[in-house]
A and B are shown apart, each in its own frame.
Chain A
Amino acid sequence: MLGEGIAKGLIETARNFLGSYVNKDRLTTVQYPEQRLPQAEATRDFPFLVYDGEDWQAGLRCVGCQICEKECPPKCIFIEKSTDKKPDAVGKPQFYPAVFNIDISVCMSCQICVEVCPFDAIKMDTAFELSTVDRFGGLLWDKARLAKPNQHYHHVHPTEAAEVDGRLAEERAKADAKAKAAAEAKTSAPPPAAPPAAPPANSGVSSTS
């Protein structure tokens, strides 16, 4: 008969209504500012720049290669390359970004900048309470605001950070080994290299004298 379904529906909603007062499990709402759900490890929202050591200026891994700037789909990264060089994580002298800005009001959290960075210098953060009253300056983050220590990276994404650290350590070890090999080669190489230079001198002396 017409109206049966309506009656059934009304009973169902009444059950929900009363049940929500009796059974707290029904209420799935998390009272956000007071209560929080733990974040999943893969959470990501906006990028940050990783630095090693204590001094963020010196430890910044970014070399200002501008790959991320080119790849960022909404073009929200602005980089100015430095004119001088400083040693990077591996010890090689590299450029560094004189200016590194991200407009997070434009950023769409796609993580492409992270994927393309060859230096593991830019990673995704998990902070999301970023509202501000300054709609322009407050959302254009500069280098100082973006820079965060490697420990922070370990804190927000432990597994990933450990993997990155392992890779970097491996690379550094490889580089060290290479350097050592080069240094060893340097110490052993001079004898064969020196003789050819000496004889002419000697001969020259002998010839001139």
Chain B
Amino acid sequence: MTALAYNSLHHASPQAADQIFLIVQHWIVSHAPAGLQSLLAILLSVVAIVGGFGLLFAITTILERKGLGRIQNRYGPNRVGFFGSLQPIADAIKSLTKEDIVPQTADKLVHLLAPILLVLAAFSVYAVLPVGRNMVLVNLDAGVLFFFAIGSVTEVAVFMAGWSSRNKYSLLGAMRAIAQMISYEVPLILSSLTVIMATGSLSTVTIVEKQAGFSRILPHWFLFTPWGFAGFVLFMIAATAESNRSPFDLPEGESEIIAGYYIEYSGFKFALFFLGEYLGMFAISGLAITLFLGGWNAPLPFLTWVPSYLWFFAKLLTLIVAFIWVRGTLPRLRMDQLMNFAWKFMLPMALLNLITAAVWHFMPSGPVRWLVSIVLVVVPYTLLGRNQMHKSHLEKRVYRFAE
């Protein structure tokens, strides 16, 4: 084993570069006593996931602050380190050394458990994300289902945080967050259902494998089908709402409810919430990559020599940048707009998209199939979109109890 690993390291072939983490893991594990090997292997993977995505979190915070700054014609952080590059470390030290304040009337135990549960749930979903060839912690038969099931646990964590703080704003924020998450979970799952229909599998690894290969230059990603494109857009919109990011950041709307459900958290617990939110965003972006963007597959046939995990992280960073860009552009929605959009636009579109995917599946391939599918996507989009846009008149507000 050691000799093999050494050899493959020595020959530095593209294959070895691709599998380097696995080789290193095997090498370390082979030195452990036999009884502990499987445990150690899992432990190493977990450490890699926590470390890798923790690092990505740090990078994203600085990227986001810099990016938003530039979008608003500011510099962004530029004091700590070279062009502010060490800012995340300063932030980490700050949040670790800050006083941890728990409100006197708070439900101490629940208040403590909420951020822990959030971060645990956020990290658990990475178990089924294939970040590279053969690089998945567990290849579950029901991987996508696992992802959504664990993802729904964050709602409980959010509720626990909002309720235990005994603060009206935090409770309002939690209620908003839960209402929003439930509403957008429906289109989120429905839009990913198209991919499950197409591949006939809930396993993330199988889904990625089904997207390997190229027709001439176009990769076989689901993004490059009409229903896949529509599904991807719907999925990303729902994902933005699920991860409470702008323009769907009503749960933490600073201008109305100050910071929403984590208003009463400070110091390290606040940092945990922050971490949990970002991890959720990465995870759901990772799922979008797995479902629609071909996972760790290379985008062009002559680029397959680049290690697969690099492709995954490149796609992930692209999506993160898109998230930041959208955050810098769009203002926050109103609650009724949010709900209308979810139930009157996202849901019908996602349902119709299921039909489009079925039509695509049963029609013989050729230009006719493309045409029919595109019509099936564009026409409802235009009609539903017009419906959304003509709702701009506001009726006079009637107060039931305040008169």
Contacts and interface: CB of A to CB of B under 8 A. Distances in A.
- Chains A and B touch (C-beta atoms under 8 A apart): yes
Interface of A: 1-3, 6, 9-10, 12-14, 16-17, 19-21, 26-29, 31
A17 B70 contact: yes
B381 A16 contact: no
Interface stretch (B72-80, B133-141, B186-194): B72-80
Contacts of B384: 2
B72 A16 contact: yes
B74 A27 contact: yes
By Cβ-Cβ distance, the 9 closest A-B pairs, closest first, are A2-B385, A13-B329, A9-B329, A17-B70, A13-B71, A20-B70, A26-B73, A17-B71, A13-B328
Contacts of A9: 329-330
B325 A27 contact: no
Contacts of A17: 67, 70-71, 325, 328
Contacts of B368: none
23 contacts: A1-B385, A1-B386, A2-B345, A2-B384, A2-B385, A3-B385, A6-B329, A10-B326, A10-B329, A12-B329, A13-B71, A13-B325, A13-B328, A13-B329, A14-B325, A16-B72, A17-B67, A17-B71, A19-B73, A26-B73, A27-B73, A27-B74, A29-B74
B337 interface: no
B323 to A, nearest CB: 12
A202 B70 CA distance: 102
A31 B70 CA distance: 15
Interface string B373-389: 00000000110111011
Contacts of B330: 6, 9
Q: Is the interface of B mostly helix, strand, loop or mixed?
A: helix
A56 B125 CA distance: 72
A27 B75 contact: yes
Contacts of A19: 73
Contacts of B72: 16
Nearest to B384: A2
Of A1, A13, A20, most buried by chain B (CB within 10 Å of CB) is A13
Interface of B: 67, 70-75, 325-326, 328-330, 345, 381-382, 384-386, 388-389
Nearest to B326: A10
A153 B73 CA distance: 38
Contact of A21 (B70, B382, B389): B70
Nearest to A19: B73
B181 to A, nearest CB: 22
A16 B73 contact: yes
Nearest to A25: B73
A10 B382 CA distance: 20
Contacts of A28: 73
A207 B329 CA distance: 113
Nearest to B382: A1
Contacts of B67: 17
Nearest to A10: B329
B71 A16 contact: yes
Nearest to A23: B73
A20 B73 contact: yes
A202 to B, nearest CB: 94
B73 A2 contact: no
A72 B345 CA distance: 60
Given A9-B330, A29-B74, 16 more contacts: A1-B385, A2-B381, A2-B386, A3-B385, A10-B326, A13-B71, A13-B325, A14-B325, A16-B71, A17-B70, A17-B71, A17-B325, A20-B73, A26-B73, A27-B74, A29-B75
